[in-house]
Amino acid sequence: MLRRLTSLPRAPLSAVKASASRRTIAHSAPVASSQLSSSNVVLELDAHKVGNEIRKRGLTSSVSNVRDGGMDRDTIIRLLYSLGSRHEVERYLRIFTSSSKASSGGVLPEAKFAVLKIGGAILTNELDDLALSLSFLNRLGLYPIVLHGAGPQLNDILEAEGIVPDYEDGIRITDAKTLQIARENLKLTTALERLGTRARPIPTGVFTAEYLDKDKYGLVGKITRVDKAPIEAAIRAGCLPILTSLAENAEGQILNVNADVAAGELAKVLEIVYLNEKGGLFHGVTGKKISTINLDEEYDALMKESWVKFGTKLKIREIKELLDTLPRTSSVAIISTDMLQRELFTDEGAGTLIRRGHKLYKQNAIDAVGSTQLRQVFTERDPDVIAGRKSVAEIFSDMKHTPHTIYGDEPFDVVAVVSHPEGEVPVMTKFLPSRNGILNKIVDNVFDAIKKDHRRLFWTAKADDENRAWHFERADGSFTRAGRSLFWYGVPDVKEVEKIIEAFESTGRIERVFLPVGPSTPPHRLGSAAGTRAFSTSARQLGSRRGYATASNLPRKRVALIGARGYTGQNLISLIDSHPHLDLTHVSSRELAGLPLKEYKSSEVKYSNLSIDDVKRMEENNEVDAWVMALPNGVCKPFVDAIDAAKAKGGKGVIVDLSADYRFENDWTYGLPELYDRNLTRESKRISNPGCYATNTQLLLAPLMPYLDPAQAPSVFGVSGYSGAGTKSGEKDEEGRPKTVPKIGPSDLRGGIRPYALTDHIHERESAFRLSTLPSSPSPFSLAFVPNVAPWFSGIISVLTAPLNQSMRASNVVELYEQQYSGERMCIVGKGVPDVTEAEGRHGWRMGGVQVHSSGKRVVVVGALDNLLKGAATQCMQNLNLALGYDELDGIPLDKI
């Protein structure tokens, strides 16, 4: 994880910069002593991913062999276009591929630099990838200044040398031998030189320090001064500076200093810093990542939170003190290594963004905000004003005659107007963010302020609004008509939604386009019954995060299902049949080839027996937008390989694999949206669908992860219906179709349950593997899981027993689940023990029955889901929707969650 601080330049720069971007990227001025501190080039380097991209495209020789001329421009462009959007890459190329010829004095007149704080784990495990990435950036004219520590990895080196690491107050006690080992920084320099990139090790000379406490900590220093001259000298000589976290005192004694502290001190001089962290700051109760912290608005309240203590409190305080010394435009980003590439090539951020920001305001009168400023905002951003449909004067007049509140921030990056006549439902009539307001997440702060004041709200946006996804994430429900989308939260009853809309249209509070002319048609059933498919738009429960859209103008996508005879395949066919935007075009089953697919009503489809070559050809011709692999474990790899091979000829298909074949592969996205980053699924072409037991287990354990006793593994006792055992070929029916016969049926079980795979079940390994990636996970993490099969058809019930690291009450535990899943429509938190009959045939997950042992340090929780739906087909549909750009819950009957 890295922490980065950026600032805008203090003087105008001749090069292009992303003035509204959350991540400011710009040329620096020529490198000189007086100007080095004003540079603001900030790049985040994903050693693993960039290295892989370089290798995959056979660019290793280009990086290592090209010397003065840099990499071929076409080669650079091919690589960059695979990583970012067109406009982002073009902007990047304008900035970073300009001429960088050396002057007669040896100074690179267009030199650009960034400071990277690299952790010991990267040096140990990803050295080659790191060197490739640094070399690649250097070929673009960048001069990354690398500051590295050793961290926990130094312990392994010391122990190998026979030195036992010792700590006091969390500080490593440093003697002469420890210091000698810590001074080593030639590995990275050597790796760079092998690639033809000049690098200069700078083990000392940058930091001056005094003893922190010689008697207590030994040769450990406290930094008193930073000298950037050695860094400038290295860059002038065309070398990448490689710094260690070491300092000298006035007598010339080398002292060990904390690498994070050293990076912070360097930031005060260079105004750029990267610190190894954990991927973001996480809420201590919910465990969810905090996207943005606006210090001016949130600092005081945040520091009073019960979970903000110890290291977290110190970290936030240190960041605030650092930002207070820098221009207001500075910010700190705490991100993980797998998000670095997104930081480098895209506008959207990753991890937690911490900025001073500005305070928010809310006023009930135009004059209280400032009519001149508001007039400018409406003139520049309001679609009605820009299109000439309304004047600013008309908007001001409407506001003066209707009770309203104006929300925004001091620089007017976001302005919102909420109309709230007494006794009526509030309507957000204006929501006008600048590009900076979107990228810096000010829109979230303002919307949160609105939500605190109004427990229910309606608003509209254009159907093609580029920020449409943002609106869906904050709505309980939505639907689209005549090019406009209507959103709302806080009204769970669809019939009430319809009545509210009728009232709005009759009084002119919203456009008269949302209810059909003629007999009233509720918003959850738009469309003609004859000839066209109806589009579901059911309202969602209060607090949910994803709307259920009905925008019929969205492009339709084609799905091919490989392996359709089993129970999961049949359920997925049913879901696709009712989907507003998907068409099932191919269904492959060797046993049923040539027979009509009767279960699919939307069009005529016949089973086929697609070969590997058929699949490759279809992918090359882009005949299919998404492939679903519903095959047994160990069978689908040849199909996946064929689709991958077609990428070279333009294949773009998404794959969702329902087997366990790719659940442990890092280059596949693991598709459990309620727990893991949805954005990764949206951007992915290869998605592994979680197992049924694994889904239940992870949803049960996730809220408890920060509170588990690391000395005792939690255990899960799971019981599944016999459909989970799969099907086998049986007799044929009167039409010659093979009957679907369960591998294990009620007669085999004789009314009882049958334990199986009592150790090392694949879902045990899958759950432990994935849960260990959560930031709140104990390290190391393991769990015990015992599966059983029962004589009912479908449905899983799992009983979790979890030892805790502190005493808790049942109410505290329930609150953890409510907070974790408060925005998740597919997750139902209950009080009583869920029954398996409540889960059978339902698309969601439910939990309850929380009981705490009398000691307060062991909790039992019960979870239930349908193994064929949320455990397989429904979850597949969520992943398909995300990957294909639809609303996550499209095609899923919300009345059956």
Q: Across-strand partners of 688?
A: 657, 670
Average pLDDT estimate for 130-138: 78
From CA 709, how far away is CA 805, in angstroms rounded? 4
Q: Would 326 be classed as within a structural domain? A: no
pLDDT on residue 730: 59
The verdict on pTM exceeding 0.85 is: no
pLDDT grade, residue 786 (50/70/90)? very high
Q: Across-strand partners of 740?
A: 729
The tokens of 619 are what? 């992918």
DSSP per-residue letters across 7-40: ---SS--SS---TT-SS---PPPPP-TTTGGG--
pLDDT at 170 over 60: no
Instruction: Please indicate, yes or no, whether residues 673 and 735 belong to a single structural domain of this protein.
Output: no
Contact by Cβ (8 Å): 467, 382:
no
Instruction: Please indicate, yes or no, whether residues 697 and 824 belong to a single structural domain of this protein.
Output: yes
How many domains in the chain? 4
Q: Would 640 be classed as within a structural domain? A: yes
Average pLDDT estimate for 680-708: 96
DSSP per-residue letters across 46-99: -HHHHHHHHHHTT-HHHHHH--SS-S-HHHHHHHHHTTS-HHHHHHHHHHHSS-
pLDDT grade, residue 514 (50/70/90)? low
Instruction: Give start and end residues of each alpha helix (H) in 462-585.
Output: 468-473, 494-507, 567-577
Q: Would 30 be classed as within a structural domain? A: yes
Contact by Cβ (8 Å): 827, 700:
no
Pick 97 or 140 by higher pLDDT: 140
Instruction: Please indicate, yes or no, whether residues 121 and 268 belong to a single structural domain of this protein.
Output: yes
| CATH number (domain holding residue 167) | 3.40.1160.10
Residue count (the chain): 897
Instruction: Please indicate, yes or no, whether residues 488 and 564 belong to a single structural domain of this protein.
Output: no
| CATH number (domain holding residue 845) | 3.30.360.10
pLDDT grade, residue 101 (50/70/90)? very low
| CATH number (domain holding residue 424) | 3.40.630.30
**Nearest Cα to 118, choosing from 217, 255, 240?**
240
From CA 850, how far away is CA 579, in angstroms rounded? 36
Q: For residue 790, what are the domain limits?
A: 692-871
pLDDT grade, residue 298 (50/70/90)? confident
Q: Output phi, psi for 129, to 5 deg.
A: -65, -40
Q: Would 260 be classed as within a structural domain? A: yes
Domain boundary, last residue among 507, 532, 566: 507
Q: Would 384 be classed as within a structural domain? A: yes
**Coil/strand/helix, residue 265:** helix
pLDDT on residue 765: 94
Q: What is the pLDDT of residues 792-819, one digit of tens each?
A: 999 999 999 999 999 999 999 999 999 9
140-154, 195-209, 703-717: range with highest mean pLDDT: 703-717
pLDDT at 871 over 80: yes
DSSP per-residue letters across 480-496: EETTEEEEEES---HHH
Cβ contacts of 295 within 8 Å, gap of 6 or more: 319, 320, 323, 354, 355, 356, 357
How do 2-6 and 331-335 pair as beta strands? Answer: antiparallel
Instruction: Please indicate, yes or no, whether residues 579 and 494 belong to a single structural domain of this protein.
Output: no
Instruction: Please indicate, yes or no, whether residues 36 and 86 belong to a single structural domain of this protein.
Output: yes
Domain boundary, last residue among 278, 309, 332: 278
From CA 295, how far away is CA 300, in angstroms rounded? 8
Instruction: Please indicate, yes or no, whether residues 743 and 789 belong to a single structural domain of this protein.
Output: yes
Contact by Cβ (8 Å): 813, 831:
no
**Nearest Cα to 655, choosing from 684, 630, 626, 683?**
626
| CATH number (domain holding residue 663) | 3.40.50.720
39-53, 283-297, 848-862: range with highest mean pLDDT: 848-862
From CA 343, how far away is CA 339, in angstroms rounded? 7
Q: What is the pLDDT of residues 23-50, one digit of tens each?
A: 322 222 223 323 333 233 333 334 444 4
Average pLDDT estimate for 491-506: 84
pLDDT on residue 90: 54
Instruction: Please indicate, yes or no, whether residues 257 and 113 belong to a single structural domain of this protein.
Output: yes
Active-site residues: which are they? 692
Instruction: Please indicate, yes or no, whether residues 699 and 624 belong to a single structural domain of this protein.
Output: no
Q: Which amino acid is at 465?
A: D
pLDDT grade, residue 299 (50/70/90)? confident
Contact by Cβ (8 Å): 427, 504:
yes
Q: What is the pLDDT of residues 443-498, one digit of tens each?
A: 888 998 999 899 999 999 887 777 777 888 888 888 777 677 889 999 888 788 88
pLDDT on residue 838: 92
pLDDT grade, residue 159 (50/70/90)? low
Q: What is the pLDDT of residues 738-776, one digit of tens each?
A: 666 676 777 788 888 999 888 889 999 999 999 999 988
pLDDT on residue 795: 95
Q: Would 465 be classed as within a structural domain? A: yes
- Looking at every residue in the chain, the average pLDDT score rounds to 77
Instruction: Give start and end residues of each alpha helix (H) in 647-754.
Output: 678-683, 692-701, 746-749
pLDDT on residue 714: 97
Instruction: Give start and end residues of each alpha helix (H) in 362-510.
Output: 366-369, 371-381, 383-386, 392-401, 435-439, 442-453, 468-473, 494-507
pLDDT on residue 261: 76
DSSP H or E run through 132: helix 127-139
Domain boundary, last residue among 507, 523, 547: 507
User: CA angle, 583 as apex, 578 and 588 as ends, to 5°?
Assistant: 110
pLDDT at 536 over 60: no
From CA 542, how far away is CA 727, in angstroms rounded? 39
Q: Would 295 be classed as within a structural domain? A: no
Q: Which amino acid is at 435?
A: R
Q: What is the pLDDT of residues 547-575, one digit of tens each?
A: 233 334 578 999 999 987 678 988 999 99
pLDDT grade, residue 183 (50/70/90)? low
- Tokens 């080669």 map to which residue? 75
Q: Would 271 be classed as within a structural domain? A: yes
User: CA angle, 279 as apex, 274 and 284 as ends, to 5°?
Assistant: 125
From CA 509, how far away is CA 458, in angstroms rounded? 10
The tokens of 261 are what? 């502290």
Instruction: Please indicate, yes or no, whether residues 29 and 167 belong to a single structural domain of this protein.
Output: yes
Q: What is the dihedral of CA 201, 205, 208, 210, to 10 degrees?
A: 80
From CA 47, how far away is CA 125, in angstroms rounded? 10
The tokens of 737 are what? 């179709």
pLDDT on residue 615: 95
Instruction: Please indicate, yes or no, whether residues 470 and 571 belong to a single structural domain of this protein.
Output: no
Instruction: Please indicate, yes or no, whether residues 396 and 500 belong to a single structural domain of this protein.
Output: yes
- Say which range, 41-50, 520-529, 844-853, has the weakest mean pLDDT: 520-529
Pick 328 or 183 by higher pLDDT: 328
pLDDT at 10 over 80: no
